Amino acid sequence: MGRRVAIVGVGQTYHKSHRPDVTSREMIREAVTAALADAELTIRDIDAIVIGNMDHFESINYVDTYSVEGSGGVMKPIMKVSTGGTTGATVAIAAYYHVASGLFDRVLAIGFEKNSESDTTGAIITCSDAIWDRFSYSGAIPSLATEATAYMEKYGATQEDAAIIGERDRNNALNNPFAHLRRPLTVADIMASPMLAYPIKLGDICPRSDGACACVLAADGVAQKIARKPAWFKAAAVRHTYTWFGDSTDYNKGLVSMQRASKDAYQQAGITKPAEEIDVAELYLPYTWAGLKWIEDIGFCGPGEGVRFVRDGNTHMGGKIPVNPSGGVISTNCIGATAMLRVAEAAIQVMGRGGKRQVPDVKNALATGFGGCFWSDVVILSTERP
Amino acid sequence: MAEWLKDVEPLTLKGRIAVPYSWWVGDTGSRFLMSLRDDRKILGTKCPSCGTVFVPPRKNCGRCFVDIEEWVEVAAEGVIEAHTIVHYAYPVQPVKPPFAYALIKLDGTDVGFLHLIKKDLDKIKNGLRVKAKFKEERTGSILDIDSFELI
Ligand SMILES: [Zn+2]
């Protein structure tokens, strides 16, 4: 059994399609400075750092070294962790392992991306097997679209059903001063947007953003002195299936890695009725359909019940289990930071610092990360020290 | 407009990295590709533990984590499990849109085989049967199968 660990400070940059005013390193520094200020610590208080971004995106492979001026990692233990779309959540989980191990008391976790500096799809396809799968499924959209058609045919979900997710998240983003896209988007807007790969339209997918996020994690005994209301780790789970697109997912069964990761997380957290016991969720939903299908895999509702569950308002602000009060990935997507933003926003909800996007009386918050060939991370944070 | 843009021009440095690679396909994959190239036959391998027939073939089963020795010839036709029709153009795509990516369960196999459908896009549905169309000029690549066509 590791030590108990909590998030005691979070920081994020504002997000835009491009940040010509700063380099990656300078952008990282903005998030780190904000996180340290939030925890009322200085860089001298930090014992170790974990940092991550997407491989190939900025063409800087040794970001642990490259970033030190911005991360504060000069002459400190610093490691890079990169796991594709899940990177930000995996970085947070690796930082959690650092503290839980007993070797470090205060650890900084950092995720960042400058999507504007490269060809996102050209970089993303390197997650596919070079010999067998890279000729096809170029980039993220076609593989997600395939999942969506399977779900449509199995349960009769419509494009309008999916568009509700986009409308919901983009509406939520109006409450988040850090969000990239802060204009409302309606179901009608999404339906009228151009078709990319059936049934995914331009309005169904996430944008490309520049931005960074940082979290300060601290050990039991230290955390209580730093934060009035620490966000305690109750669970952290990582699951990978296969890289072969034909094997990795039974498209008709669901996102197996998310099912297994959340099952493990609920066991760690002692949660038996997720929809009753989780108060808010920050889910890595890169496209609208995920907001219908993946909430089934996470166990918020049963198989095929996603559309009904969403249409009944359960996942909207004020509903049973609000999803993505921040506006989610559909509103902000600085990929290496995206999954960390889910963890950070869950921590913000637990710490009660959400301002206009705060859900009242949050005890347990769930965050997910999603990556490449359908792998998943799940984190559960709580006001309750486990 | 941001204040700093009045005095400072936001410059960029252009770069491009092109790194050539030669990926060794390995003995298991090479045998599969040779069979496509020389015999127009699709081969799979069968896990001795769980019985899963994989195509393209695997040297070991990821689930059971055991070596696989048994080869099986599988059909060049099967059923569309899931698909998407791509409308946007992008340089890495193997053909010009519109075309479909499909996961096809070939008869006698247990996994989806990822490939292309180029014709009858308005008629494609999950559950329909398709057949492999081989290229005349074959080089030992997964694209020696040109595409799949509705039967
Ligand atoms: Zn097996």
**Domain spans of chain B?**
24-150
Cα angle for residues A151, A371, A357 (degrees, 5° grid) = 85
Task: Give the number of other CB atoms < 10 A from CB of residue B96.
Answer: 9
User: For B84-117, what is each residue's pLDDT tens digit?
Assistant: 999 988 887 889 999 999 999 999 999 999 999 9
Domain boundary residue among A226, A260, A285? Answer: A226
Of A21, A134, A137, nearest to B4 by CB-CB distance is A21
The verdict on residue A126 lying in a domain is: no
**How many structural domains comprise chain A?**
2
The reply to whether A44 and A68 lie within a common domain is yes
Task: Tell me how far the alpha carbon of residue B85 lies from the centroid of ligand 1, in angstroms.
Answer: 32
Question: Do A155 and A16 share a structural domain?
Answer: no
CATH for A79: 3.40.47.10
Question: Looking at the structure, do residues A111 and A58 belong to the same domain, yes or no?
Answer: yes
Domain stop point among A194, A226, A258: A226
Residue A299 is assigned to a structural domain of this protein: yes
H or E element in which residue A247 lies: helix A245-248
What per-residue confidence (pLDDT) applies to B91? Answer: 80
Q: Does A174 lie in the same domain as A73?
A: no
CA of B73 to the centre of ligand 1 (A): 18
Asked whether the beta carbons of residue A198 and residue B56 sit closer than 8 angstroms, the reply is no
Same domain for A267 and A154: yes
pLDDT of residue A122: 78
Do A278 and A325 belong together in one domain? yes
Cα–Cα distance measured from residue A333 to residue A180, given in angstroms and rounded to the nearest whole number: 8
CB B49: neighbour CB atoms within 10 A? 12
Chain A nearest-CA distance from B74, in A, is: 16
Same domain, A203 and A251: yes
B93 and A138: CB-CB below 8 Å? yes
Using DSSP bridges, classify how beta strands A231-239 and B129-134 pair: parallel, antiparallel or unpaired: unpaired
Please check whether residue B99 touches A, CB under 8 A: no
Q: Considering the domain boundaries, does residue A194 fall inside one?
A: yes
> What span, in angstroms and rounded, lies between the C-alpha atoms of A159 and A164?
9
Q: Are residues A102 and A66 in the same domain?
A: yes
The amino acid present at A211, given as its one-letter code, is G
Mean pLDDT by 10 residues, chain A (386 residues): 95 95 93 98 97 90 92 96 95 98 98 91 81 75 87 93 98 98 97 95 96 98 98 96 72 83 98 97 97 97 97 98 98 97 98 98 98 90 97
CA of B54 from ligand 1 middle (Å) equals 10
In this structure, is residue A251 part of a structural domain? yes
Looking at the structure, do residues A49 and A171 belong to the same domain, yes or no?
A: no
Q: For residue A241, what pLDDT is reported? A: 83
ipTM of this predicted structure: 0.79
pTM (whole model) above 0.90: yes
Is beta strand A375-382 parallel, antiparallel or unpaired with respect to A280-282? unpaired
Cβ atoms of A158 and A190 closer than 8 Å: no
Nearest CA among A23, A17, A32, A2 for reference residue A344: A32
Strand B77-86 relative to strand B42-46, pairing? unpaired
Instruction: Give Cα B86 distance to the centre of its chain.
Output: 15
Ligand 1 centroid distance, CA of B46 (Å): 8
Please, are residues A191 and A345 in contact by the beta-carbon 8 Å criterion? Answer: no
Q: Choose among A346, A136, A86: nearest CA to B103.
A: A136
Minimum Cα–Cα distance from B5: chain A residue? A21
Q: Which residues of chain B have pLDDT under 50?
A: none
Is A125 part of a structural domain of the chain? Answer: no
Within an 8 Å CB–CB cutoff, is residue B64 touching chain A? no
Residues of B in contact with A194 (CB under 8 A): 87
| Owning domain of residue A15 | 5-120+209-226
Residue A265 main-chain phi, psi, to 5 deg: -65, -40
Are B90 and A139 within 8 A, CB to CB?
A: yes
- Among the partner-chain residues A59, A132, A142, the one whose CB lies closest to the CB of B142 is A132
| Contact predicate A182/A331, CB 8 Å | yes
3-class secondary-structure state, position A185 = coil
Q: Could you tell me if A307 and A356 lie in one domain?
A: yes
- Do A197 and A304 fall into the same domain? yes
